[in-house]
Structure 1
Amino acid sequence: MSLVVKFWGVRGSLPSAPPPQEWSYHIEGILRNFFSSGYREPSQIAKYLQSMETPLVGGYGVATTCVEIQSPQAQLIIDGGSGIRNLSEAIMKGTTGRSKGPFHIFMTHFHWDHVIGLPFFTPHFIPGCEVHYYGVQPELEKLIRGVFAKPYFPVPFEQLKSKVFFHVLEPRKPYQLEDMTITPYQLDHPDPCWGLKVENGGKAYAHCVDTECTRVTREELAEDLPLYQNIDLMYFDAQYTLPELAEKANWGHSAAQVGLDIALRENIKTVLFAHHDPGARVEQVLELKRQTREYYESREKFASQKDQKLSSVKWDFAHEGLEIYL
């Protein structure tokens, strides 16, 4: 094992969950399928639920972007969306990561959905704990201090009990974090947003969420092309369908088909799509998945007709709590 990647928040723009009425309808559908699937006894309920993919039962998640990456010697957190609260609770219980720190948080950018959970990251309030922030933005410290400020949050930055450190990274320059090598590359998003390539032991993860990916070709990507090369797992923004992508130009988010094209060209092994729209329910994400499968199959068919070999790419839509071993 070189890297373990866990997704604590995969929702985009703001935390969002279906209202109780919709959950009731969803659960009713699950119960109906219990009998049509051949089950009859209450003792079979657990087996029935375990036979289904997690999102079909519990949805894709409600929390905004937070990704945890662990290597044999280090732990890195990407972004402080609302998902970081659940990660914080797991850390305090000693069920994940290094419960005593130090803690390392890379910030891609500072839109609300990526900072909303930072004040609820408990290590900030533990005396002697070290929290290290990383980002390309020169104003990194000022921006983090602004998250802990009245009247937006009752505890100002100056009253935090932990020791907080700030590290401004150079664009596209590798930085060594214990046994991880991390390199920031620019994404296509309103207000500068930086993706991250994380490498260890010959494995590589590419964080490409909050990008419209208006630059697609190798020539357009230019100095940011390495973010997509020699990658084992790419986490890619797929908030929209292709028609929505055209309607919402310059909104800073992409579609799964765009990510698939890059993955096929660059021989990326696995792609997970995320930044699910706050209005997207289970059925809508499943529809995105259907459209993506249709597109992938059309690419395979076209390659076959041209007597060409299409590289194999595993792909899926990420859900909260998903854990990937590289």
Structure 2
Amino acid sequence: MSLSLKFWGVRGSLPSSMSPHGWRSHFENVLRDFSAQNNKDSHAVTKFMQNQDLPCIGGYGTGTTCIEVNSLKTQLIIDGGTGIRALSEKIMSGTYVPVKGPFHIYMTHFHWDHVIGLPFFTPHFISGTQIHYYGVHKDLENLIKGVFKKPYFPVPYEQLASKIYFHVLEPRKPFKINDMTLTPYLLDHPDACWGVKVESQGKSYSHCVDTEGTRVSRDELGEDLPLYQNSDMMYFDAQYTFPELAEKANWGHSAAQIGLDLAFREGIKKVLFAHHDPGATTEQIKEIKRQTKEYYQWRVDHAHECKEEIFEVDWDFAYEGLEIKI
């Protein structure tokens, strides 16, 4: 049995889309690519579109962090960024999972982009629904209650119809939810942010957002090293280019090259890069992806030249709506 994941929101810091001028420029580039292939038949449009990576046409999405992880018996939601609204709509359609849950929501931390969607998760307002919140922060309950508070939101926490439970987890201690095991590990972030390793039926997913990746050696990572070791898939913060890291030290976000180095060393099979900068256009993210490909190939070629073994990693950049099985 595999773990299945859906990425409902992959932006960082705040929800963001390109401006109308930005989209016009983007589609001009798409049309140039179409024209460069000497396509004159209108029927060729569909074939051309199908041959492109989806983000190259529709972008990487606008919603902030919300990841859904499903095992055979358990649905886990990681963070409540604006991406959770689309998940809520899917649930309320009645064709997805039971409207009354139970729902399990793990919170990494409480910056706006990770909580702003919670009031728009409709099951909160349905009588008989069970919602379980999990997190390492000791004041988990008060932090969640603070999201449902006037004047920021019209419905105060006390008026929610659902039954809500709070579970404060111990750092680095495994916690079971049915057939799923969650283990929180500390990430590198100015405010305490707890990534999580999700394991079920021999498969593992490492959620590593938000992180700057300032601890890189095994000694520096210490008791948080298991978050990365031998994971089937890692979701890693790549908000910045590698040169930008020096300019934005202590901002709590990283670059894809840092994630690749971890994956090479720790035997991570697949990496998805995300937490895309709100100011990054589709073209800019494509350029970051190109730089990442260049770095990856350099690492592989260098290892081969030196006759060194290297763990080859499957990687890509996440986009909103992406579904993966591991």
Query: TM over 0.5, yes or no?
Result: yes
Q: Which residue of 1 aligns with 2:267?
A: 267
Could you tell me how far 1:111 is from its partner in structure 2? 0.2
Residue 14 of structure 2 aligns with an amino acid whose one-letter code is L
**145-154 vs 286-295, which moves further:** 286-295
Q: Deviations over 1:120-179 (max 9, x none)?
A: 000001111011100000100000000000000000000011111100001000000011
Q: Which residue of 2 aligns with 1:227?
A: 227
Could you tell me how far 1:242 is from its partner in structure 2? 1.2
Aligned-partner SS, 2:43: helix
Quick one: distance in 1 between partners of 2:219 and 2:40? Answer: 59
Could you tell me how far 1:41 is from its partner in structure 2? 2.6
Aligned-partner SS, 2:265: helix
2:300/2:312 contact within 8 Å kept: no
2:64/2:114 contact within 8 Å kept: yes
Could you tell me how far 1:95 is from its partner in structure 2? 4.1
1:34/1:40 contact within 8 Å kept: no
Aligned-partner SS, 2:152: coil
Residue 152 of structure 1 aligns with an amino acid whose one-letter code is Y
Q: Which residue of 2 aligns with 1:298?
A: 298
Q: Which runs of 5+ in 1 are unaligned?
A: none
Quick one: distance in 2 between partners of 1:299 and 1:89? Answer: 43
**11-20 vs 45-54, which moves further:** 45-54
Could you tell me how far 1:31 is from its partner in structure 2? 2.5
Residue 306 of structure 1 aligns with an amino acid whose one-letter code is C
Aligned-partner SS, 1:268: coil
- TM-score (ref. length: structure 1): 0.98
Q: Which residue of 2 aligns with 1:253?
A: 253
Q: Deviations over 1:14-63 (max 9, x none)?
A: 00000111112212222333232243333332222111100000000111
Residue 323 of structure 1 aligns with an amino acid whose one-letter code is E
Q: Which residue of 1 aligns with 2:116?
A: 116
Quick one: distance in 1 between partners of 2:40 and 2:155? Answer: 54
Q: Deviations over 1:263-303 (max 9, x none)?
A: 00011000000000000001111111111111111111221
Aligned-partner SS, 1:128: coil
Q: Which residue of 1 aligns with 2:76?
A: 76
- TM-score (ref. length: structure 2): 0.98
2:22/2:281 contact within 8 Å kept: no
Aligned-partner SS, 1:277: coil
Same amino acid, percent of matched pairs: 66
**54-63 vs 41-50, which moves further:** 41-50
Residue 312 of structure 2 aligns with an amino acid whose one-letter code is S
1:75/1:98 contact within 8 Å kept: no
Q: Which residue of 1 aligns with 2:145?
A: 145
**230-239 vs 98-107, which moves further:** 98-107
Q: Which residue of 1 aligns with 2:23?
A: 23
Q: Deviations over 1:213-234 (max 9, x none)?
A: 1111111111000000120000
Quick one: distance in 2 between partners of 1:71 and 1:172? Answer: 21
Q: CA RMSD in A?
A: 1.1
Q: Which residue of 1 aligns with 2:316?
A: 316
Residue 138 of structure 1 aligns with an amino acid whose one-letter code is K
Could you tell me how far 1:98 is from its partner in structure 2? 4.1
Q: How does 1:1-326 map to 2 (within 5 A)?
A: 1-326=1-326
Quick one: distance in 1 between partners of 2:41 and 2:299? Answer: 44
Quick one: distance in 1 between partners of 2:234 and 2:38? Answer: 38
Quick one: distance in 1 between partners of 2:94 and 2:272? Answer: 27
